[in-house]
Amino acid sequence: MSNIRDVAREAGVSVATVSRALSDPDKVSQTSLNKVHSAIDKVGYRPNMLARSFRSAKSYAVVVLVPDITNPFFSQVIRSIEDRAQQKGYAVLLGDTRGILEREKEYIRRVETRLADGVIQLRPDEPEKQSSYMPEGVVCVNACGCESTKGPRVRIDNRGAAKAVVDYLISLGHKRIGVISGLKDNPHTIDRLAGYKEALAGADIAFDKSLVAEGDFTTWSGLNSAKQFCTMTERPTAIFCMNDEMAIGAIQTLKSHGLRVPEDISVTGFDDISYARYCDPSLTTVAQPAEEIGKLAMDMLLRLIEGEELAQEENVLPAEFVIRKSTGVPCKD
């Protein structure tokens, strides 16, 4: 393995000149530049980036904290982050935490120990717990923010989007609208439930606690939670699911109980993962701008790493309400 000294010797210049030729070519004469480059080819030199990072005290890496990378929404955001990072010469360290706080901390430790320059968090932090564990000096932007999220963040208007969905269901004539939510304390659940309640209130429909089933954003939980609606004496005519995966699970359950979607019951999702378009019936849902979210979060983090000021701590991106085939007018029993 040849190093910069070998190149210098071969080229007949000093190591400083070689170093400059690589990182700041303008400061070097054309003659030296040529000598250096042919020397590099000759000895097969590859700069040791570990040494460079060490010396310049920057790792040019960011860690992405994600509860579950197999969630299609998350993987889309990550793809976008990676794309942007690559463009800017940064590496992405994957931190699939499976929701385990301990693993999250291990990854955050990597930036304390200089292996990464910052963090992008894809989990909405629960307000009380958040600030407590992000150490001093670790820069972090949350790419899945909520109204309660502190610090640099990008988010969509979850409440508004949820309200739009439920407003639409109400406009179709639905009055008994069930909910399959995420975990009770999850900020996304809180924001989206607020939107649901706002829509109800706007139409003078009383909030009925028994119409809210708690899931955890997995398909399996949607599948399960939907069961209780099937066996209700007074069944809801529509179900607002807080993500697409639960909606897909719910539809599965409804079908197996002999209910047709949307003729007997309407179902809506949230996220617009790619399967939302291909499931049967295709899903009425809220399209999150995954691409934009990732790109923006990465750009914000980069600015933070460079020590620059953020134009704004919070960036709220528009989400699009997409009407497909899983919603229709309520059945009249």
Partner DNA sequence: TTGTAAGCGTTATCAT
Partner DNA sequence: ATGATAACGCTTACAA
What are the percentages of helix, strand and coil residues in the chain, rounded to 5?
45, 15, 40
32 backbone φψ class: left, alpha, beta (φ>0; ψ -120 to 50): alpha
Asked if residue 34 binds DNA (CB under 7 A), the reply is: no
Asked if residue 17 binds DNA (CB under 7 A), the reply is: yes
| List 44, 51, 99, 325, residue binding DNA (CB under 7 A) | 51
Residue 240 interface partner, choices a second copy, DNA, none, CB cut-off 5-8 Å depending on type: none
Secondary structure of residue 77 in the 3-state scheme: helix
Contacts of 29 by beta carbon, 8 Å cutoff, 6+ apart: none
Asked if residue 27 binds DNA (CB under 7 A), the reply is: yes
Q: What are phi and psi of 71, to 5 degrees?
A: -70, 120
Query: By C-alpha distance, which of 332, 292, 299 is closest to 316?
Result: 292
Exposed, middle or buried: residue 157 (CB in 10 Å: 0-12, 13-18, 19+)?
middle
Q: What are the structure tokens assigned to 221, written together?
A: 């939980």
| List 1, 233, 311, 332, residue binding DNA (CB under 7 A) | 1
Please tell me the distance from the alpha carbon of residue 113 to that of residue 125, in angstroms, as a whole number: 23
Q: What are phi and psi of 28, to 5 degrees?
A: -125, 140
User: What H or E segment, with its residue span, contains residue 291?
Assistant: helix 290-305
Asked if residue 31 binds DNA (CB under 7 A), the reply is: yes
Residue closer to DNA by CB (options 54, 207) is: 54
Q: How many residues bind DNA (CB under 7 A)?
A: 28
CB of 100 to DNA, least distance (A): 27
Residue closer to DNA by CB (options 47, 127) is: 47
Query: By C-alpha distance, which of 315, 305, 318 is closest to 152?
Result: 315
| List 93, 108, 122, 144, residue binding a second copy (CB under 8 A) | 93
Beta strands in the chain (DSSP E): 61-66, 91-96, 118-121, 140-142, 153-156, 177-181, 212-214, 238-241, 266-268, 285-287, 314-317, 320-322
Q: How many residues bind a second copy (CB under 8 A)?
A: 48
| List 55, 204, 258, 309, residue binding DNA (CB under 7 A) | 55
Asked if residue 253 binds DNA (CB under 7 A), the reply is: no
Q: What are the structure tokens assigned to 117, written together?
A: 């320059």
Asked if residue 114 binds a second copy (CB under 8 A), the reply is: yes
Asked if residue 69 binds a second copy (CB under 8 A), the reply is: yes
Which string of DSSP letters, residue by residue, matches 257-288?
Answer: TT--TTTT-EEE-SB--GGGGTSSSPPBEEE-
Only segment of 21-29, 71-79, 165-173, 321-329 that touches a second copy (CB under 8 A)? 71-79
Only segment of 52-60, 124-132, 171-179, 309-317 that touches DNA (CB under 7 A)? 52-60
Asked if residue 22 binds DNA (CB under 7 A), the reply is: yes
Asked if residue 79 binds a second copy (CB under 8 A), the reply is: yes
Judged by CB under 8 A, the chain residues 26 through 65 that form the site for a second copy are: 46-51, 53-54, 57, 59, 61, 64
Judged by CB under 8 A, the chain residues 232 through 261 that form the site for a second copy are: 248-249, 252, 255
Place of tokens 């150490």: 135
Residue closer to DNA by CB (options 5, 184) is: 5
| List 38, 41, 42, 56, residue binding DNA (CB under 7 A) | 56
99 backbone φψ class: left, alpha, beta (φ>0; ψ -120 to 50): left
Q: Which parts of this chain interact with DNA (CB under 7 A)? A: 1, 3-5, 12-17, 19-20, 22-23, 27-29, 31-32, 45, 47-48, 51-52, 54-57
Q: Which parts of this chain interact with a second copy (CB under 8 A)? A: 46-51, 53-54, 57, 59, 61, 64, 68-70, 72, 75-76, 78-79, 82-83, 86, 91-96, 103, 106, 109-110, 112-115, 219, 223, 248-249, 252, 255, 274-275, 278-280
